[in-house]
Amino acid sequence: MPLSDLEIWAEIHANRLQIVPLDEERVKAHTIDLRLGNHLLLLFKREDVRGTVINPQIADVMSVVKRHSEEITLSEGQVFPLEPGRLVLAKTLERVALPHYLAARVEGKSGFARVGLQTHVTAPIIHPGFDNVITLELINNGPFDLLLAPGMDIAQLVIERLGSPVINPYQGRFQSQQ
């Protein structure tokens, strides 16, 4: 069951749930707004992928991604036009640390969805024990270029309490991604 703002604040004040940096106005009725950080990974430059075929079941997906992508760092005030049909990996400004009895889901924002921005492809779950920034898979499914800027509200986090703490908290490969 999702936590209410009252429960979210209780977890934050007890230092069990950490959102850094925390802007108090971002805690809503039952979500926490997340902002876009300044690091983007533009995936699959069109000129590099023509004719490339991969089998995600056996390929080293991350090496394929890195080989066909371009890292972009935006400065304050700079924008990145996300063209229709393009995919970027983007990091949140906020680092999120979850205790062993809370999980979270990253959800899009309705205003962006209405112009075609998909915030995550199939990976909305943040596991108990996670402690890092969150990587978003941003796809422009609309007909217009969408301007992405560091610090803009980009997603929302729904925090959920588990029935009991997990035995094996998250220790996956994305725990230390930067």
List active site positions: 137
Task: Report the C-alpha gap between 56 and 127 in whole angstroms.
Answer: 23
Cα distances (angstroms) measured from residue 47 to each of 44, 90, 131, 136: 8, 21, 36, 24
User: From the CB of residue 118, how many other CB atoms can be counted at a distance below 10 Å?
Assistant: 16
The backbone torsions φ and ψ at residue 77, rounded to the nearest 5 degrees and listed phi first, read 90, -15
Judged by phi (left if over 0) then psi (alpha if -120 to 50, else beta), residue 77 lies in left
Task: Report the C-alpha gap between 12 and 2 in whole angstroms.
Answer: 15
User: From the CB of residue 159, how many other CB atoms can be counted at a distance below 10 Å?
Assistant: 23
